[in-house]
Structure 1
Amino acid sequence: MPILPALSHNPPAALLSAIAALSYAFLAWAHPRLSERQTRGVLAAAWVLHLLVLVSAVLETPARFGFAPALSVTAWLVLTVYLIESRMYPQLKARWTLAVLGTVAVLLALFFPGAQYHALPSNWMPLHWALGIASYGLIAAAVVHAWLMQRAEKAIRQGSAGDTAIPLLTLERLTFRFVAAGFVLLSATLLVGGWFSELINERWVWNHKTAFSVLAWLTMGVLLLGRWRLGWRGRVAVRMLYLGAGFLLLGYVGSRFVLEVVLHRVG
């Protein structure tokens, strides 16, 4: 897929994306020099600009979607969760990582805006997309919390955890809440996807996306069952979460990346 057409199909949206990416990049570079209030302000401004980018993409005609827009929405959802939680838990410190994530996600969506959909194959498609992206966002938030949990555990072992650090059990509880919510939405995504696949093809269509999504669903289900029945926690639980998130990433994002970037098929 040529890069220049991807940048020139909507110049105002491209400019807005560039400004949003620069805002995130500025935060990643300058946050050690900024006060707490200034950091929150820059992050909130970048978040709003990112939202405007997503809204402009939704309003575009014909609609576009692909692996990079999916990642962009997922990153925005993770940042939304962080902005809310950082109000309740000021000890959460992941701004540099999330700012870099936001920069990369916005730039990817700018260069790879996805395929055009002049007509949707099913009226269920928008619901399927919405549920799928929401499950991506919740499970990505769980991954971020698991990473924070690992970092907090390492600090405790090294004796460098401060008195103001967020409790490890709180991070663990938040992680599994996001896993559970993501599992519920992923289940709904698969059900809706199977429903409109039956309507269109009169059968369940198995492909790479479906196979990896089902593997992710099974992994998350086993993780939640192991947590409930066997009390899984720590490294075992985190590795299961990373595995399930990896399967989910390979589902839609991975398959679309191969089609759009490797095979240059955007239809």
Structure 2
Amino acid sequence: MILSSASPAGVVLTLAAAAAYALPAAGAARLSEQAARRGLLAAWLLHAATLVWGLFGDTPRFGFAPALSVTAWLVLTVYAVERQMFPQLRARWALAGLGAAAVVLALVFPGTPLHVASSPWLPLHWALGVAAYGLFAAAAVHAWLLQRVEHSMRNAAEPQAGMPLLTLERLTFRFAAAGFVLLSATLVAGIFFSEILYGRAWRWDHKTVFSVMSWVAFAALLLGRMRFGLRGRRAVNVIYVGSLLLLLAYVGSRFVLEVVLGRT
């Protein structure tokens, strides 16, 4: 933990990003569409600056909270791209709140100092894993939106996500499939190239077990979709379970080490 390990520049960037996120999240009813879009863009840029500073600043650090912060930023990036294609998508305020919480959490728990990589390929391996986190998080957000639309339809109300049910369903499974590909590549690299990446033989540990369990859950989801037309609440629940298992693989283990056990 803590703020004492953060540089003044990092603290200023983080607080600015959190404030920029909080403004559109708290003032949803009072801001115009253009003002809200500009505010979220400013927050997104400041968030990116905090991530760059955390990884390449005076003392590069990484841990469970920065991993969550990167994931939140990737989800917001996906949302920004999607809004260009589907202007009716409505999740800005929830995602702004998520971004604010993520940057503050990364300030309080900045992680441990990064050591010199044992292999030039190690950053690529990490990038694959973090990208998989982001895509599965995007799938989980879309699954949540899917549930909101289904609930609204059952109650004969206007869909709260502002998007057709089938469009949301297609997007949800596309993100899940893309995340599955990246997770597969991450696992293959970790299993077969562990000595090159980490300088040690591959072994089963809690991180690997949870990652493989997540892979199995998403493999079952995609196979069930192709073979049996799996959809609706069952599919959403599998997405939630698979995403939670992957979250436990790195974020959960680092949380235990950094916060519960106090190890660096």
The residue aligned with 1:96 is 93
Counterpart of 2:262 (choices 258, 261, 264) is: 264
The equivalent residue for 2:72 is: 75
Q: What is the CA–CA distance in structure 2 between the aligned matches of 1:42 and 1:201, rounded to whole Å?
A: 45
Matched to 2:22, the amino acid is A
Assess if the C-alpha contact under 8 Å between 2:21 and 2:100 holds in 1. Answer: yes
Query: Aligned equivalents of 2:160 and 2:136: distance in 1?
Result: 29
TM superposition shift of 1:155: 0.7
**Which runs of 5 or more structure 2 residues have no equivalent in the other structure?**
none
Contact in 2 for aligned 1:219/1:243 (Cα 8 Å)? yes
- Report the more deviating stretch, 159-168 or 221-230: 159-168
* Counterparts of 1:226 and 1:4, CA distance in 2: 46
Question: Which blocks of at least 5 consecutive residues in structure 1 are unaligned?
Answer: none
Counterpart in the other structure of 2:172: 175
Please report how far the alpha carbon of residue 202 of structure 1 lies from its aligned counterpart in structure 2 after TM superposition: 5.1
2:128 to 128, 131, 135: 131
* 8 A contact 1:75–1:101 mirrored in 2: yes
Q: Are 1:65 and 2:80 matched, yes or no?
A: no
- The reply on whether 1:250 has 2:248 as its aligned counterpart is yes
Moved over 4 A (4+): none
TM-score of the pair, normalised by structure 2: 0.95
Query: Once the two structures are aligned, what percentage of the paired residues are identical?
Result: 59
Other-structure match for 2:219: 221
Could you tell me which of 98, 109, 118 is aligned with 1:112?
Answer: 109
**CA distance in 2: counterparts of 1:53 and 1:107, whole angstroms:** 11
Mapped partners of 2:116, 2:192: distance in 1 = 19
CA contact (8 A) 2:140 2:243 kept: yes
Aligned equivalents of 1:264, 1:163: Cα separation in 2: 42
Within 1, Cα distance between the matches of 2:105 and 2:189? Answer: 28
CA-to-partner distance for each residue in 1:16-36, whole Å, 9 max, x for gaps? 011001111111101111111
In the alignment, structure 1 residue 240 sits paired with structure 2 residue 241? no
Contact 2:21 2:97 in 1 (8 A): yes
Which residue pairs with 2:5 in the alignment? 6
Aligned partner letter, 1:158:
N
Alpha carbons 1:6, 1:112 under 8 Å: kept: no
Count residues in correspondence: 263
The answer as to whether partners of 2:152 and 2:160 remain within 8 angstroms in 1 is no
- Matched-pair contact (CA < 8 Å) for 1:124–1:196: no
Alpha-carbon RMSD across the aligned residues, in angstroms, is 1.6
**Which shows bigger deviation, 111-120 or 208-217?**
111-120
Partner Cα separation in structure 2 for residue 68 and residue 164 of structure 1: 28
How far apart in 1 are the matches of 2:215 and 2:158?
35
**TM-score normalized with structure 1 length:** 0.94
Contact kept in structure 1, 2:145 and 2:168, CA below 8 Å: yes
- SS of equivalent to 1:31: coil
Distance change (3 Å), C-alpha of 1:132 and 1:163 = closer
> Do structure 1's residue 39 and structure 2's residue 36 form an aligned pair?
yes
